[in-house]
Structure 1
Amino acid sequence: MLLVRSSHARFGWRLRLLGGNAALTIGALIVLGWLVVALTAPLIAPYDPIFQDATARLQSPGWLHPFGTDNFGRDVFARVLWGARIDLQISFLGVIFPFMIGASVGAIAGYFGGVVDMLLMRIIDIVLAFPFLVLMLAIIAILGPGLSSFYIAMALVGWISYARLVRSQVLVLKHADFAVAARSLGFGHMRIMGRHLLPNAILGSVVFSMSDAVLVLLNGAAISYLGLGVQPPVAEWGIMVAEGQGFITTAWWITAFPGIAIVSLAMGFSFLADGLGEWLGVRE
């Protein structure tokens, strides 16, 4: 019992050292860990991720191949490491573009109000009338498969939530004393929005973006799984899951390890969102 208490005390001390926010600490460690893996993949990957060795097909995990090999004889461990680069890129870029568009639209709608607000809100209502994933698939089908099409689809569909969050904050903040003082001093609309309102209105959107990164990651993997995202033989976790589904009963490792990678990174972003919200005092 004493041993358990002392171990808990040591663990609590470590958390206090890192800011006392367990969720933020765990999430940051997971995401940063995958970021380090992505940056060092060329150095730590034991094999070329697209190199095929017909003599090493479907080997189970072992010393030479820690995660086994796939049906083309490619090393699954190397492909998981290299896949981190693509999936982290999907997570970050798939959030940044909608965030920028949504924050701008929300700030304009909330600040000017009236007809401008009504028109922009009606556009949002039209986009919301269609299921998110169906609309994404339709845009990608029109543009053609590939990461560029995925990013464009995310930018055209994913900005809605950010626009609504920022608009609701700007509607309140534009009547605050600092905003009224800025208008009294004759500052222009762009300066008031860019330097006074947006920095105070986007905290909720920053926290939401961490949760949104989970959705973007899963959508990116799903799109690649359907053959509309990253194209083979590029190493990407969604493609690896799709390629291994036909061998799930005989070579489970082809699907299991990239699936675990997707879940772990998604959990990292989820913990990061919870911890960041607690740290900033923001509720999504």
Structure 2
Amino acid sequence: MSASATRLSFTPGLSRWLGRHLSLAVGAGLLALFFLVALAAPLIAPYDPVVQMADMRLQPPSFGHLFGTDNFGRDIFSRVIWGARIDLQIAFIGVVFPFIIGTLVGTIAGFFGGIVDAIFMRIIDIILAFPFLVLMLSIIAILGPGLTSFYIAMALVGWVSYARLVRAQILVLKNADYAVAAISLGFSRTRIMFRHLLPNAVAGSLVFVMSDAVLVLLNGAAISYLGLGVQPPTAEWGIMVAEGQPFVTTAWWITLFPGLSIVCLAFAFSLLGDALGDMLGVQE
């Protein structure tokens, strides 16, 4: 077959795939772009993100400073690039620990039921009785500002949604024929929970991870905006928005570009969540 014929037969297949998985392609492409930018930050950032240049304060976007400069003369473009590292870290670590804790709790509570389930559900009810952000702010205020405190607060508060999702699936799956057969064959409880039930119960949580990453990203930006997250002069998008607020009418570029970065990264996670939900047949 000729090369031209191969191209002709490949193009319709690619078009059909993109038509079916457009959200996946766009979301994965955006997220990959952010990861590449974060990894290559030392190579592509034209300036040091924390170096102040007093003679370049509040410069509008130009060829020398693509996104302009802030009130300290720091290059916004460089700070946005370096900020991608922090915000991707926030989105990743902020969902990993709640996902692990919530999945374990939901599996144990759903499988054993009875008093074990009742205890975990009452703990979840207590946590849900408080507004999410207020509870997080309280924990961070006790522990002190910083990313470590933010991650601890997310782990202590964010696991409840995963626990409820997994528990609901385990309650249904443990009565399935294959689970009953595994019990009849004398398999250990650990094997039944983690080899037979959990792989079939975790699909909804994997989809929720993407949506939760958006929430974690926005919460991280909000916490930094309030001065309880990443501390200056570290380049982080939430801090940059906060620092540019007093100049929003005179130097709009200080808040615009980090704000757009937050929106674009959140959009990428949302698209991936929608695509993953469609592929796994999960109803949101």
TM-score past 0.5 threshold: yes
Q: Secondary structure at the match of 1:168?
A: helix
Give the TM-score, by structure 2 length: 0.94
**CA–CA distance in structure 1, aligned partners of residues 19 and 71 of structure 2:** 46
Report the equivalent of 2:110. 110
Q: Secondary structure at the match of 2:59?
A: coil
**CA–CA distance in structure 2, aligned partners of residues 204 and 219 of structure 1:** 22
- Cα pair 1:15 1:21 within 8 Å, conserved: no
Structure 1 letter corresponding to 2:178? F
State the Cα distance separating 1:93 from its structure 2 match.
0.6
- Cα pair 1:102 1:162 within 8 Å, conserved: yes
1:25-69 CA deviation, whole Å, 9 max, x = no partner?
A: 111111111111111111111111111111111111000100000
Deviation >3 Å, runs of 4+: 11-15
1:1-284 correspondence to structure 2 within 5 Å: 14-18=14-18, 20-284=20-284
Structure 1 letter corresponding to 2:153? A
Structure 1 letter corresponding to 2:74? R
State the Cα distance separating 1:177 from its structure 2 match.
1.6
State the Cα distance separating 1:17 from its structure 2 match.
3.7
Structure 1 letter corresponding to 2:271? F
- Cα pair 1:70 1:254 within 8 Å, conserved: yes
**CA–CA distance in structure 1, aligned partners of residues 36 and 187 of structure 2:** 44
State the Cα distance separating 1:20 from its structure 2 match.
2.0
Structure 1 letter corresponding to 2:185? L
State the Cα distance separating 1:14 from its structure 2 match.
4.5
**CA–CA distance in structure 2, aligned partners of residues 186 and 156 of structure 1:** 35
Give the TM-score, by structure 1 length: 0.94
**CA–CA distance in structure 1, aligned partners of residues 255 and 88 of structure 2:** 19
Structure 2 letter corresponding to 1:52? Q
The number of residue pairs the alignment matches comes to: 275
Structure 1 letter corresponding to 2:266? A
Moved more, 17-26 or 162-171: 17-26
Query: RMSD of aligned C-alpha atoms?
Result: 1.5
**Structure 2, unpaired ranges of 5+:** 1-10
**CA–CA distance in structure 1, aligned partners of residues 12 and 115 of structure 2:** 54
**CA–CA distance in structure 2, aligned partners of residues 12 and 240 of structure 1:** 45
Percent pairwise identity: 72
**Structure 1, unpaired ranges of 5+:** 1-10
